[in-house]
Amino acid sequence: MTRKRIVRITISIITVLLIIDIIAGFYFYNLAISRGQKEFLQENKDLEVSAEAMDVFTEGGWREWMKNQDFEQMEMQSFDDLTLKGYLLEAKEPTNKLVIMAHGYLGNASQMGLYGQYYYEELGYSFFTADARGHGDSEGDYYGFGWHDRLDYVSWINMLIERLGPDTEIVLHGLSMGAATVLMTSGEELPDNVKVVIADSPFTSVQDLFSYQISRMFKLPPFPVLNTTSLVSKAKAGYSFTEASALDQVKKADVPILYIHGNADTFVPTEMTEELYENTKSEAEMVTFDGANHGEAFVIHEEKYIKTLNGFLSEYFD
């Protein structure tokens, strides 16, 4: 075989591999980032929850409680001109305490009623929750995984302080993608009104999360498919997987952070929260919950969760 023929074959092979990689990049972008149904998660064993948790998630009284509350609907234009929807429930008795909640991937604002009911009924807080960009009734054709959402939450924070008063004291509480969102928000310049962050089952970065999942779910090496998908995301959604990093943001955080994670979580491994905790600039605490899978801790260890939450809040609130 001549050298020229070898070169041609080599170029042909490289070209085919590049085409396959590009196709795969667009495929995984549409699979995970583009707004829409995500059927691939329905059979994901890492998201299987206990029967106890499933009953509460699907049939819990908090759902009826949410329906019966008179939320004030709020609207915001994002930095990139999306109309985002938020929902405010002012406390029954006058208070300056407010919890701002952030839901998980493919969720919506109402799902945070599971936690918001406790803040509202037991702690007497006002309760705000929002549909993240690309979710619920908010605009957006992609999922931000917390990165662009962090700027949305800075805007919500400022809007709510203006709405409720300059003495408002705020808890940011997020679950899963919402936990990453509030951690990413913690690295921004925030008003002193934000007193604490509660991050339940967060991931370190989109790059780390997808690297873990593409290996676990699809048995593929992260390189080069994930790199190409990240380029597609940068072009179509405006962010790359490496820049969307909660880990980088907590290294700049000034607000105290409570990390919560189930030690049986196989969807977002507990080690990610450990890494976040170890790299947090501000005061921080980490608590794990035995036998809890992804996002289950509040349901299957409610007493411990509430005790942990109240203990942390009491340190930073009068």
- Regarding predicted confidence, which is higher, 130 or 46? 130
pLDDT given for residue 6 in this prediction: 64
pLDDT at 51 over 90: no
pLDDT given for residue 148 in this prediction: 97
Q: Say which residues have a Cβ less than 8 Å from residue 59's Cβ, sequence separation at least 6.
A: none
pLDDT given for residue 40 in this prediction: 59
pLDDT given for residue 290 in this prediction: 95
Three-state DSSP state, 214:
helix
- d(C-alpha 305, C-alpha 65), whole Å: 21
pLDDT given for residue 188 in this prediction: 97
pLDDT given for residue 73 in this prediction: 97
**Are 311 and 285 spatial neighbours (Cβ–Cβ below 8 Å)?**
no
Domain assignment present for residue 178? The answer is yes
pLDDT at 2 over 80: no
Average pLDDT over every residue of 54-76: 87
Domain assignment present for residue 256? The answer is yes
Q: What is the pLDDT of residues 130-166, one digit of tens each?
A: 999 999 999 999 999 999 999 999 999 999 999 999 9
31 falls in which pLDDT band (50, 70, 90)?
Answer: confident
Domain assignment present for residue 298? The answer is yes
Domain assignment present for residue 100? The answer is yes
Q: What is the CATH number of the domain that holds 118?
A: 3.40.50.1820
Element (DSSP H or E) covering residue 86: strand 83-89
41 falls in which pLDDT band (50, 70, 90)?
Answer: low
Q: What is the pLDDT of residues 248-295, one digit of tens each?
A: 999 999 999 999 999 999 899 999 999 999 999 999 999 999 999 999
pLDDT given for residue 218 in this prediction: 80
Both tokens assigned to 107: 């969720």
Average pLDDT over every residue of 223-237: 93
Domain span at residue 249 reads 57-205+244-316
Sequence length of the chain is: 318
pTM: predicted TM-score of the whole model, two decimal places: 0.92
25 falls in which pLDDT band (50, 70, 90)?
Answer: confident
**Are 146 and 180 spatial neighbours (Cβ–Cβ below 8 Å)?**
yes
Q: Sign of the CA dihedral 190, 196, 200, 205?
A: positive
| Number of domains within the chain | 1
Domain assignment present for residue 18? The answer is no
Angle (CA) 79-83-88 rounded to 5° is 105
**Are 210 and 13 spatial neighbours (Cβ–Cβ below 8 Å)?**
no
Domain assignment present for residue 9? The answer is no
Average pLDDT over all residues of the chain: 91
Domain assignment present for residue 230? The answer is no
Domain assignment present for residue 151? The answer is yes
- Regarding predicted confidence, which is higher, 4 or 79? 79
pLDDT given for residue 88 in this prediction: 98
Q: What is the pLDDT of residues 161-212, one digit of tens each?
A: 999 999 999 999 999 999 999 999 999 999 999 999 999 999 999 999 999 9
Q: Sign of the CA dihedral 245, 251, 255, 258?
A: positive
Pairing, β 97-102 against β 72-77 = unpaired
